[in-house]
Amino acid sequence: MATPTLPRQRDRVATAAPAVVRGLTTRQRRRIALVLTVTGLVLGATFAGAPILWMLLSALKSNSEIFAYPPSLLSDNPSIQPFIGILQDPRQLRFFLNSYVVALSVVALTLLVAVHAAYAFSRYEFPGKHLMNVVVISVQAVPPVTLLIPYFGLMVALGLYNSYAGLILTYIVFTLSYAIIMMTGYFNTLPRELDEAARVDGTSSFGALWRILIPISLPGMVSVGMYTFMIAWNEYLFALTLTRTDDMRTVPIGIQLLMGQHSYDWNQMMAMSVLGSLPVIVLFVFFQRFFIGGMTSGSVKH
């Protein structure tokens, strides 16, 4: 006789939770949402920050402490000697110099080309515009690793193997399409009346671009510049393939070269990784407001 009542019991259990939620006040719901949000952010920050913290603390340890069991988070005798060893080694400093030269050159050339191309896509109609848009998007969609062997052969044929020019031109190909897409979207958010008013006053199209649009497009340019810098600074595979000598290697390759045949200098590897991360972190800290604003504005077309 009790069997027919089971569906009713299941229905009451199923509706109990929604009834509890409906019984909460708006203030209680907001508190629960806030607690869940904060908990999620803390877990996400811990997941993202724990490896960085471990890297920094490992850079202050000796190799024997890094391999100690059970592992310890803090060193009994922390030392900055691994950092000093990196900064006093001319070979390691050359890696940093190469990375700065390549990354800053890629940023400057990418922005120079992308701004003019995006201005043309945003403000003018010309034959082949749709086809060129498709080409730009298609380049962004191609996995870079598939181009490794063709680029190696091309750079050897052009005499650009193991040179700054070879790395810079290669990285520009990877960053330019994204930069054009982002800057075109950003220019589309700016009223056409701005450059039209400048041309009425006797300014040319290039004058309107450089005097009016570029100054108010700094958030978008900073966003694109930071993205470009990070791509060129962190890239490993092409930097390894397109260079041969230590005087042309970049920071990611320098970290890999600290792995010896019979031993690894883990503390120096961690120290160099920390020093290699600082430029990107500093850029993001100082330009965070422009970066977020540029990404948001460039993704919306009014």
Q: What is the pLDDT of residue 144?
A: 86
Q: What is the pLDDT of residue 170?
A: 93
Q: In this predicted model, what pLDDT tens digit does every residue of 237-282 receive, in sequence order?
A: 999 999 999 899 999 999 888 886 566 778 888 999 999 888 888 8
Q: What is the pLDDT of residue 251?
A: 93
Q: In this predicted model, what pLDDT tens digit does every residue of 199-227 receive, in sequence order?
A: 887 778 888 888 888 888 888 888 899 88
d(CA 94, CA 81): 19
**Is residue 302 scored above 80 in pLDDT?**
no
d(CA 207, CA 53): 48
pTM of the model: 0.79
- Comparison of pLDDT for 260 and 294, the residue scoring more: 260
- Comparison of pLDDT for 141 and 288, the residue scoring more: 141
| Cβ(69)–Cβ(255) below 8 Å | no
CA distances (Å), 216 to each of 177, 193, 207, 255, in order? Answer: 22, 14, 14, 39
Token pair 């004058």: residue: 207
d(CA 83, CA 93): 12
Q: What is the pLDDT of residue 29?
A: 84
Q: What is the pLDDT of residue 113?
A: 94
d(CA 18, CA 296): 37
Mean pLDDT value of segment 103-113: 95
Question: Counting Cβ atoms within 10 Å, is residue 293 exposed (0-12), middle (13-18) or buried (19+)?
Answer: middle
Phi, psi of 125 (to 5 degrees): -110, 130
Q: What is the pLDDT of residue 179?
A: 92
Q: Is the dihedral of CA 134, 222, 301, 125 positive or negative?
A: negative
**162 DSSP assignment:** T
Helices 218-234, 266-298: axis angle to 10 degrees equals 150
Mean pLDDT value of segment 7-31: 62
Comparing 81-95, 109-123, 182-196, which segment has the lowest mean pLDDT? 182-196
d(CA 78, CA 56): 11
Domains defined for the chain, CATH in brackets: 2-59 (no CATH), 81-299 (1.10.3720.10)
**Radius of gyration of the chain from its Cα atoms, rounded to whole angstroms:** 27
Q: What is the pLDDT of residue 300?
A: 45
Q: What is the 3-state composition of the chain as percent helix, strand, coil, each rounded to the nearest 5?
A: 80, 0, 20
